[in-house]
């Protein structure tokens, strides 16, 4: 498997290959895009992609640290 698909002559993808959707914020914890943005990415214009990428730094604060999930609940 190669990463050639990520090396196309287009706006870069913010994907860092850590694809986990935060259950409350509904954002990918790796790239901070929404599920809809991830799904539409390949069909977006370069301008639309740049607009999303410009917003990503502002989204990091929307993710609250998870509290350990099921294992933490069982330990209480």
Q: What is the 3-state secondary structure (H, E, C) of 18-62?
A: CCCECCCCCEECCCCCEHHHHHHHHHCCHHHHHHHHHHHHHHHHH
pLDDT at 21: 92
pLDDT at 1: 53
Q: Is residue 71 over pLDDT 80? A: no
pLDDT in tens, 16-54: 998 999 888 899 999 999 999 999 998 999 999 999 999
19: left (phi over 0), alpha (psi -120 to 50) or beta: beta
pLDDT in tens, 7-24: 656 568 899 998 999 888
Q: Is residue 70 over pLDDT 80? A: no
45-46-52-55 Cα dihedral, nearest 10 degrees: -150
């Amino acid at each position: 498997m190669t990463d050639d698909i990520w090396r196309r002559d287009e706006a870069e993808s913010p994907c860092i290959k850590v694809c986990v959707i935060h259950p409350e914020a509904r954002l990918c914890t790796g790239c901070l895009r929404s599920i809809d943005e991830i799904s539409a990415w390949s069909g977006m214009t370069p301008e639309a992609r740049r607009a999303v990428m410009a917003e990503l730094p502002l989204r990091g604060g929307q993710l609250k640290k998870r509290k350990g999930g099921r294992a933490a609940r069982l330990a209480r």
